Chains A and B, each alone.
Chain A
Amino acid sequence: MSAAKPHGASPPRGDAGRTEGSPRIEGSPRIEGSPILVVEDLRKQFAAHRARALVRAVDGISFSLHRGEILGLVGESGCGKTTAGKLIMRLIEPSSGSIKVEGFEATSLGRDEDIAYRRRVQMIFQDPYASMNPHFKIKDVLEEPLIIHGIGASRAERMEMVAQVMEKVKMSPVADFMDRYPHMLSGGQRQRIATARTLILSPSVIVADEPVSMIDLSTRAEILHLMKTIQKDMELSIVYITHDLSTARFFTDRIAVMYLGRIVELGTQDEVIDNPVHPYTRALIGAVCEPEAGRVGLARDLEVKGEIPSASDIPKGCRFHTRCLFATEECASLPEPELADIGGGHWHACRRWREIPMKQ
């Protein structure tokens, strides 16, 4: 296990009522203030076709998510953010490491517990066009999770729940939308249904993988706004996976910046975006355009060089040193820096951060 544990206070173990060998998700003791999701040194390697080395998609990440918090996992393609989301969802098995939801280990569940886990941890997928069965009416899309998890005694009771959740995501008049098919809805409406489908199970944790990246810009804000309102009302805990720092700034409480399978910086969104420490975070922020005239015509100096290396050939030492403008020989030769706290829950993994000139 890594020396750094960026969880704030060490979480009390929530395994008081745990039966030996059969971790249960339901009925777990709820400890106020303790994280709802704790990920520790999580790793996932894939055996790539024809490649000699393993692809280290997620290469030892640790973080925690508190009740009612939105944590952004931010990074470029191939940084492992989606793999991390799938691991948390248990859509794929981790190579090593631990995922605890409400104190219970999720990496060694049997089939029944697995189903119970899925009720507690729900996902909103990126593509609202592909994530719904086109033969299902909206009411069927929303009823299906209830049937799978044996919720509701009768169809009438389930339909009542479906109607309630549709109100919650502002798909009203409900009766109008219930009998429609997904293709009759816009992308924004579909993503509301996708949100409703997760909410109907009252999950503890929602993993939202780029939930608005395929939605038109005028609707994007509306969906984010709705999700945030519901999140506050219901005290939902969300892992928001995105490549888009601007929406992360609006939507999240904390941001974890990932690079090549590792978290390189983690902190409150204000800290990470206003006072970035890691050169990679700074490069990412520097690359984002703003809708303001003042910046036009400035040739932007990107604080990064080259292209992202392959996850099957991760550089030795600091994995960012090959692209870093501030790297020294030490960055390549010394062991990889662990996440270190600089106060206020702001963590970063850069050995030279004090020596890097701040850019205005």
Chain B
Amino acid sequence: MRDTMSCALAEPVLSVRGLKLHYFTSKGAVLALDGISFDLYPGETLGLVGESGCGKTTTGLALLNMPSAPGRIVEGSIVIDGTQVVGLGDSALRREVRWSKISMVFQGAMNCLTPVYTVRELMVETYREHQPSGKPGGRAGPLDHAGLEALMSTYLRLVGLPPAVLDRYPHELSGGMKQRVVIAMALFLEPKVVIMDEPTTALDVIVQAQILNLIKGLRRDLGLSYLFITHDLATEAEIADRIMVMYAGKLAELGTSEQIFGPSRGPAHPYTQRLLASTPRLRRRVSELAFIPGAPPDLIDPPKGCRFGPRCSFARPTCVANEPPVAELAPGHLVACWKAMGDPDYERG
């Protein structure tokens, strides 16, 4: 368990403020990210959870300034290791940010490896795309052939694969091995921050545990920071130091693993509470699973007030009228909910 105080004292390696990313569709702008702020500290794993469509993957892509069409960052700032990413040109992003400062393990990437390339060709291509420019003040210049071979072998060994895998094609590898290759490809340009988007979701249980153990070990050995995106709270409980819960493009709750999962208090936001109660448990028999009625809102025309209001069993008039701000409930524990904050208007009913 990380010490939250030391987190608060260190400089964040990634700092996001007021981030808004909208998808401009023919039906109108989809407010996919509508003012998200968070920090990621060195050596920390920040979990990002929520239902499909809440903006988890959009957040990941926004950090690379690589929104999928027709998306665009319309407001806010993203500072990664001292570099402001919003507003940077494509070439600068590719040479100075993507993979060298921040990389991403895309959801399902292991099934999207170009089948006609060997692992070596895949890795070399990644290197060529993002290789250091060698500019003054930048990183060291490009590696020669032998240097690159050595680098690739080193990282394959780090993810638990023999360097001979370099000559293999993706179809010759098992699911777990392919995911290890994808992780090696995200790490070998030595970024400080790695976005893991559902890295274990498509894998079998035992392979999932093996990959989680690997991801944990790499963080420790290489001093990485992770933004770990998944829909599965149980996986977050296993890996994350802090958890950020998103709902409909907004932050619902953010807290340490203890604050969210801890036996003492548990989560403060009704959405997190329901999410947790609907997660099936293996080691405890439950006769009923909770669920969240309804579906997330349409983000072209989100509901007034609290976005979770229409599905929340605790909603009162004030929740419909006013949008709750993000408030600090306890040190490091943020929540956007009138009820959790003990708002007087809410209490009055």
Contacts and interface: CB of A to CB of B under 8 A. Distances in A.
- The CB with the most chain B CB atoms within 10 A, among A217, A222, A224, A308, is that of A217
A77 B280 CA distance: 21
B231 A245 contact: no
Contacts of B233: 291
A283 interface: yes
A270 B285 contact: yes
A217 B279 contact: yes
Secondary structure dominating the interface of A: helix
Given A291-B276, A292-B237, A299-B213, A245 B52 contact: no
B205 A288 contact: yes
A217 B282 contact: no
Contact of B205 (A218, A221, A284, A307): A284
Contacts of A308: 174, 204
Interface in B193-207: 204-207
Interface residues of B, number: 52
Interface in B265-285: 274-276, 278-283, 285
Given A186-B295, A299-B216, A224 B289 contact: yes
Interface in B208-247: 208-210, 212-213, 216-217, 231-240
Contacts of B147: none
B257 interface: yes
Given A250-B280, A299-B213, A225 B292 contact: no
Given A218-B275, A284-B206, A293 B261 contact: yes
Interface in B252-304: 257-258, 260-263, 274-276, 278-283, 285-286, 288-293, 295
B205 A296 contact: no
A220 interface: yes
A247 to B, nearest CB: 5
A290 B51 contact: no
B76 interface: no
Interface of A: 76-77, 186, 216-222, 224-225, 243-247, 249-250, 269-270, 273-274, 283-297, 299-300, 302, 304, 307-308
25 contacts: A76-B207, A77-B175, A77-B204, A216-B51, A218-B291, A221-B280, A222-B293, A224-B280, A225-B289, A245-B282, A250-B280, A283-B206, A287-B206, A287-B209, A289-B232, A291-B237, A293-B257, A293-B258, A293-B261, A293-B262, A295-B237, A296-B240, A297-B1, A299-B217, A304-B206
Given A289-B232, A293-B257, 16 more contacts: A76-B205, A216-B52, A218-B51, A220-B278, A221-B278, A222-B278, A225-B288, A273-B283, A274-B283, A285-B282, A286-B209, A291-B279, A293-B263, A294-B263, A300-B213, A302-B209
Interface of B: 1, 51-52, 174-177, 204-210, 212-213, 216-217, 231-240, 257-258, 260-263, 274-276, 278-283, 285-286, 288-293, 295
